[in-house]
Chain A
């Protein structure tokens, strides 16, 4: 059972435009969510997080939005840069991190 789902395996955007990566979850008891970024041949690195008591958290070009009623969160990257090209995982904490399947973002120059 996939408790955290990223239904878009890939996303391609033009440099300077907005990238929106989506994530859905099934367990309403999840109360903390994180986004990790992964480059090839490297481990995932923490990007940004959000608590369920908030609906938005911003850090520079990265903003995460949480819609608890829809059990949905999204990561916005504005403006997108070629160096943002990577696999992005959303994750929820429930005693351990549970990851989604990942979305491969390609930012074209």
Chain B
């Protein structure tokens, strides 16, 4: 399978615990995105990387959230001191735009997501 892979598919945790998700993009893609989706809403942008550089972070990404892409391949998203409001589907996507700026015809390829439930 050469698509975007996310692990785990499901995560149940207690409030206050830390969680970490992993995303493996399509191998030749140099751009990687994290989105969050709650019930009844569309995916909301969190952050994205161009290779190992984190180029943009949404204000949705509080200081409890940190994302890394150390070698420009896989990425991790960590949530510290989880809150019930963090319960959502966390989606990773990758793409390979021709240049630094997002091309107007850029298409993102999404993984199946990690469903987080904070009790």
Q: Are B105 and A32 in contact (CB under 8 A)?
A: yes
With CB as the reference atom, state the residue of chain B lying closest to A99: B42
Interface set of A (CB-CB < 8 Å, partner B)? 4, 6, 9, 31-32, 34, 36, 41-46, 49, 51, 89, 91, 93, 95-102
**B-side binding surface: helix, strand, loop or mixed?**
loop
| Closest residue of B by beta carbon distance from A51 | B104
Q: How far is the CB of B97 from chain A (nearest CB, A)?
A: 11
Contact A31 B104 (CB under 8 A): yes
The reply to whether B56 and A95 form a contact with Cβ atoms under 8 Å apart is: yes
Given the known A-B contacts A43-B4, A96-B48, are A101 and B41 also in contact in the complex, defined by CB atoms under 8 Å? Answer: yes
Q: Report the Cα distance A99→B45, complex, angstroms.
A: 9
Besides A4-B42, A96-B33, A102-B40, 15 other A-B contacts (C-beta < 8 A): A9-B40, A31-B104, A34-B107, A43-B112, A43-B113, A44-B110, A46-B108, A46-B109, A91-B42, A93-B104, A95-B102, A96-B48, A97-B33, A97-B108, A100-B42
Q: With the chains together, A21 CA to B10 CA distance in Å? A: 31
Query: A97 touching B45 by the CB < 8 A rule?
Result: yes
Also in contact, A102 and B41, with CB within 8 A (given A43-B4, A96-B48, A96-B56): yes
What are 17 A-B residue pairs whose CB atoms fall within 8 Å in the complex? Answer: A9-B40, A34-B107, A43-B4, A43-B112, A44-B91, A45-B110, A46-B107, A46-B109, A89-B43, A91-B42, A93-B102, A93-B106, A95-B101, A95-B102, A96-B56, A97-B33, A102-B41
